[in-house]
Amino acid sequence: MMGIESQNVTDYPNSNTIFMVWKLGDDPKVKDVFRQLCALVLNLNNSVFNRFPDSRASCVMGIGHNAWKILDLPSPLPKELTHYEEIRGDKHVAVSTPGDLHFHLRADNKSLIFDMAIEISKLLTPVAESILEVHGFKYWDARSILGFVDGTENPHGEDRDFFAKIGDEDLPYKGGSYLFVQKYIHNMDAWKSLSTEEQEKVIGRSKENDIEMSDDVKPSNSHIALANIEGENGEELKIVRDNMPFGSPSTNEFGTYFIAYSNTFTTTKKMLTNMFVGNPVGNYDRILDFSTAVTGTLFFVPTRNMLDEFSG
């Protein structure tokens, strides 16, 4: 009997990524196209692994709440798959934006994901609208455009599976994952006006060697202080991030595509609330004065087994 096979949600970040968000239309063929799409995603992953086993290439598909309903997928839904509502603080907002399907394509060689994106787009274009496409890349030693290492607090080893994948608490969807994404635009002029010391206080880490500040020095509104969260009993709560920088020097648009896989959206929502509302209220994440969230969407990543069922 086949065991549960998750999609590649715990793969480590690599050199090139394409993120795509699609909105389904009302074409009567949409369900048939979705069945073909599930088969295509499985095929793309199998093919690229067989042809280029060392490429670390993968395609992960997430499905939004609205799409789950449109496509008449299994009921009851995954326990925490709902329409994401914006989180509004006194100064900054974690906005909510539409999205029915999300694709996370990654590989060391951009040619592989470029071809994947072409095949997915070719299939979806007759029945859906592309509403976002972001091409991310590895910047130096895994730094964001802001110049600081990103993802230092990511879990490793078996912890990646534990924090990213649903367990026995929702058995029908075991091995699946909640996917939350945001596109952030950075105000680089304002950021560069800060001294290195001031930037380090915003992040809570040293810029050059990525060392976290001690608790007695680290500001309570630093990114590290508010993005690292604990449960009610002090237990560690983590998400698996695969953030990627993107940018267009000629238009002066630079940003970070935030992407989080988790075994429960509650964890991600708690982190977002800390950042945007503040902990305590009003003590919001200082990084938001320089980085604006322009999208925010929740998806569910089914297992490969479920994709196989959906394709039948």
Give CA–CA dist 175/167, Å, rounded: 6
CA 75 → CA 29, 35, 65, 170, distances in Å? 21, 17, 12, 13
The single-letter code of the amino acid at 186 is H
Cα separation, 131 vs 77, whole angstroms: 25
Cis peptide before 280 (omega within 30 of 0): yes
Kindly report the pTM of this predicted structure.
Answer: 0.97
Mean pLDDT of the chain: 97
pLDDT digits (tens, 9 = 90+) for 193-230: 999 999 999 999 999 999 999 999 999 999 999 999 98
Q: At which residue do the structure tokens 């949600």 appear? A: 9
pLDDT at 234: 86
Is residue 154 within 8 A of residue 240, CB to CB? The reply is yes
Residues 70-124: tens digit of each pLDDT: 999 999 999 999 999 999 999 999 999 999 999 999 999 999 999 999 999 999 9
Work out the pLDDT band at 1, boundaries 50, 70, 90.
very low
- Calculate the alpha carbon distances from 238 to 76, 162, 189, 275, 284 in Å: 26, 9, 32, 15, 19
Whether the CB-CB separation of 157 and 10 falls below 8 Å is answered with no
In this predicted structure, the answer to whether residue 2 has a pLDDT above a threshold of 70 is: no
- Known catalytic residues are 150
